[in-house]
Chains A and B, each alone.
Chain A
Amino acid sequence: MADSPHLSLERQRELVSFVRQDCGSCHGMRLTGGLGPALTPDALKDKPIAALISTILQGRAGTPMPPWNKFLSESEATWIVDGLQKGFPDAR
């Protein structure tokens, strides 16, 4: 697996909270799914990394998943995908 892109610790904390809380409103705070699918390592293990990054940044047509590229850079999306596939850190 590629190294995680370098992000400041503060930004990493913000992203953990963002994923748990804001992505969590559709995917569940424990990322086990809701209106949106589960984002657990098991659910994502066979998904190509580039496709997951693209889903975060561009959204997914025909579903409620919106593009987040106004709020996240490509390296941040990469960091999130890497974290999701490894098992996402807890907010606390």
Chain B
Amino acid sequence: MDCKKVFLMRAKRKLMQKSMAIRDIISRLALPLLVTASLVGCATPTLRGTGDLGVVIERATGSVQILDTTHRSSLGKVNGLGDLSHASVSYSRDGRYAFVFGRDGGLSKVDLLTQSITHRVIQAGNSIGGAISQDGKLIAVANYEPGGVRIFSVDDLTPIADIPAVGANGKRSKVVGLVDAPGRRFVFSLYDAGEIWVADMHKPQQPILHKFTDVGKEPYDGMITSDGHFYAAGLFGEDGVALLDLWNLQAGVKRTLVQVGRHGEKLPVYKMPHLEGWATTGDLIVLPGVGQHEIILADQNTWQEVARIPVAGQPVFAIARPDNRQVWINFAFPDNETVQVLDLPSRSIVKTLKPGKAVLHLEFTPRGDQVWVSARDDNRIDIYDPETFEHIGRLPADKPSGIFFTSRANRTGL
């Protein structure tokens, strides 16, 4: 309840205790004055933008905290978001609303300014992530169960379209690596079927599907280059990357970077790498050596490997600093207390940090003056200056995982 309502109720209660005569006078004269006075003393909503805000997922409690990167503070907590053991977030194009995708198929629209859930649907049994369309009107969710993509209106989460992911093998497949692409498209991969699909959303109720079959075994995640030109799916079941030129769908999916793989060695992988957010710097693309303690640098034009950098563990995220000079990397269990910083010009690790137990994610502020790191088992977020590596802030959080700043609202793919 807002404080104006609370005040009015209290004022009415007080009035009931007064004599009739006095009540008449107060209701005609004093009450409006009191209300005015109270609104000044009230937590008056201050007008503000959202460009310096974000959220952190608190995976065990099904909540998010609203973060403020200017004051390096938490503005509040929003509960009731369901199972967030795997979760991701897309933003409305005005950066006000966070769309939270939960493990349990929950899709929630959270208003960062009022710190409340405006809409929420359980749209599937088990989901992995999603993206917002180029025009900001549609929100698409990738589902494991039932395998497919469901598309909703951003306004009120009304269902718009349902795309069951039935592969050429006739079976329903889990969907991974869903991104938005220029030309009002969504692109995603079918994990079990080994396919990549492009959904043209010019007519939102009737998506036109372009299906690419036999792209490789078990695409586990996908990414789009920051310019929206290429979609790449990482393969788990065999070596390499399945690459689709979104400017030229007729050319089909090509296999590239066959060095990026386990080479039949069946190296154990203790956590699936995430490709979303992997660095594409214009010249170089940075990829995880699946199962290896290695980062692979490839030429972004030829998609050929140019270097291989030994790192502290199996990489999970590799996030480029906004100036693209450095890439910050975190790792799978059991090396998940470590974060390493790769300097691209010298192709060397220039810093190894131990921010805390179970580092799950990191996120840069839009211009790269800060990097926020979540340490799940230490129940906190640590903030570093990416230039000096100085520790500049710390916030408590309950089993924090993904950190998502509103600058994502303006990035293709998310």
Contacts and interface: CB of A to CB of B under 8 A. Distances in A.
B93 interface: no
A28 B103 contact: yes
Interface in B132-155: 144-145
A25 B126 contact: no
Given A22-B333, A64-B236, A28 B272 contact: no
Contacts of B128: 34-35
Contacts of A61: 266
B85 A30 contact: yes
Interface residues of A, number: 21
A35 B220 contact: yes
A26 B268 contact: no
Interface string B159-197: 000000000000000101000000000000001000000
Contact of B85 (A17, A29, A59, A71): A29
Contact of B269 (A24, A34, A66): A66
Interface of A is mostly: loop
A61 B358 CA distance: 27
Interface string A11-27: 00000010001101110
A67 B103 contact: no
A33 B145 CA distance: 9
Interface in A35-74: 35, 59, 61, 64, 66-67, 71
Nearest to B217: A62
Nearest to B174: A35
Given A24-B85, A34-B103, A64-B236, A29 B59 contact: yes
A92 interface: yes
Contact of A28 (B83, B268, B333, B334): B83
A61 B60 CA distance: 31
A91 interface: yes
B271 interface: yes
A43 B321 CA distance: 43
B86 interface: yes
B336 to A, nearest CB: 9
Given A71-B334, A91-B60, A92-B60, A30 B83 contact: yes
A25 B145 contact: no
Contacts of B174: 35
Q: Which of B60, B85, B104, B268 has the most CB of A within 10 A?
A: B85
B358 A21 contact: yes
Contacts of B145: 33
A25 B236 CA distance: 16
A92 B174 CA distance: 31
B294 interface: no
Given A33-B126, A34-B144, A28 B86 contact: yes
A26 B86 CA distance: 9
Contacts of B271: 22, 25-26
A22 B218 CA distance: 21
B376 interface: yes
B126 A21 contact: no
B270 interface: yes
Contacts of A34: 85-86, 103, 126, 128, 144
Contacts of A33: 126, 144-145
B378 interface: no
A55 B358 CA distance: 24
A21 B174 CA distance: 22
B85 A28 contact: yes
A76 to B, nearest CB: 15
B377 A17 contact: yes
Given A17-B377, A35-B220, A29 B191 contact: no
A61 B264 CA distance: 11
A4 interface: no
A32 interface: yes
Interface in B201-248: 218, 220, 236
Contacts of A26: 271-272
Given A59-B268, A66-B269, A25 B86 contact: yes
A35 B268 contact: no
Interface of B: 59-60, 83, 85-86, 103-104, 126, 128, 144-145, 174, 176, 191, 218, 220, 236, 266, 268-272, 333-334, 358, 376-377, 399
7 contacts: A21-B377, A22-B270, A28-B85, A30-B104, A34-B103, A34-B144, A35-B191
Interface of A: 17, 21-22, 24-26, 28-30, 32-35, 59, 61, 64, 66-67, 71, 91-92
